Structure 1
Amino acid sequence: MKLMLRAFGVASCVVWGGLASADPILGTWQTEADDGAYAHVAMKPCGPAICGTIEKSFKDGAAFTSPNQGKTLVIDMAPQGGGAYEGKVWRPSNNKIYLGKMTLNGDRLALRGCVAGGLICSKQTWSRVK
């Protein structure tokens, strides 16, 4: 019985420890419409950072098969603390990679991508898909 209780205690610590260290940005997010289309992006760990891959694509509210599905949109976003992340963002509509920043606020994710040393930037706010 003691061995069983110890095993349960160790298993509980592993499960709760893993949940406590899970990044709150993980999950699926809906982008804003860009050139009439939007996507669901799955945010997952990629090494010590977070990456986001296009899972589903939508145009005019209807799902469609986009050539961008499965591609990485959010690249190596490293947590900076306080819900802030820094890395890179790929914009499919012009096939450019931008220096990126993200800020998490509840179920809203503000993204900003910049080029030319921050002179030219684009912003979007994504919402968590439930």
Structure 2
Amino acid sequence: MTSTRTVLIIVAMTAAPAAGAAELNGTWLRDDGNARVRIAPCGDNVCATNLWIGDTSKGEAVGDRLIMTLARQADGSFSGTAYDPKRDWSYSMTIKATARVLSTHGCVLGGLLCRNVNWKAAE
């Protein structure tokens, strides 16, 4: 499992992405400095696309993406699923957005393997 995928274990969503998902849109830097992604609408979903990867040893590449299907929750977070077409993996995902910061929590294998990743808005 890669760290960008984990973030967005990174980033794929199911509700009208334009409704509230604008807070997620933009270019984001992973807290370890090893990835830069762009989150933007893609069809009826939201996609996180790798713009730059520092350490490609785990199979991450520029252009890889997660397709997210997310719904806004009562607490303002987004939750749903993310799909990684390169690996044919699906993740459960929760994203919390605050001013210029994203916190992602993603899980695979029915919640047996989870990871948290923080992102900051790119300058």
Query: For the superposition of Structure 1 and Structure 2, which TM-score range results when normalised by the shorter chain?
Result: 0.5 to 0.7
2:77 match:
83
TM-score after normalising by structure 2: 0.64
Structure 1: which 5+ residue stretches go unaligned? 1-19, 60-65
1:69 match:
62
Q: How many residues align?
A: 99
Amino acid at match of 1:113: G
Amino acid at match of 1:106: A
Structure 1's consecutive aligned runs of 4 or more residues displaced over 4 angstroms after TM superposition are 94-97
Structure 2: which 5+ residue stretches go unaligned? 1-18
Residues 87 and 67 of structure 1, relative CA distance in 2, 3 Å threshold:
closer
Residues 127 and 109 of structure 1, relative CA distance in 2, 3 Å threshold:
same
Whether the aligned pair in 2 keeps the contact of 1:44 and 1:51 (CA below 8 Å) is yes
Q: Map residues 52-67 of structure 1 onto 2, 5 A cutoff.
A: 52-59=48-55
1:128 match:
121
Q: Deviation per CA, 1:71-116, whole angstroms, max 9, x where unpaired? A: 10x32232324132322165x9x99543222111221111111122
CA RMSD of aligned residues (A): 3.0
1:62 match:
none
TM-score after normalising by structure 1: 0.61
Whether the aligned pair in 1 keeps the contact of 2:30 and 2:117 (CA below 8 Å) is yes
Q: Map residues 102-117 of structure 1 onto 2, 5 A cutoff.
A: 102-117=95-110
Task: Return the structure number with greater helix share.
Answer: 1
Higher CA-based Rg = 1
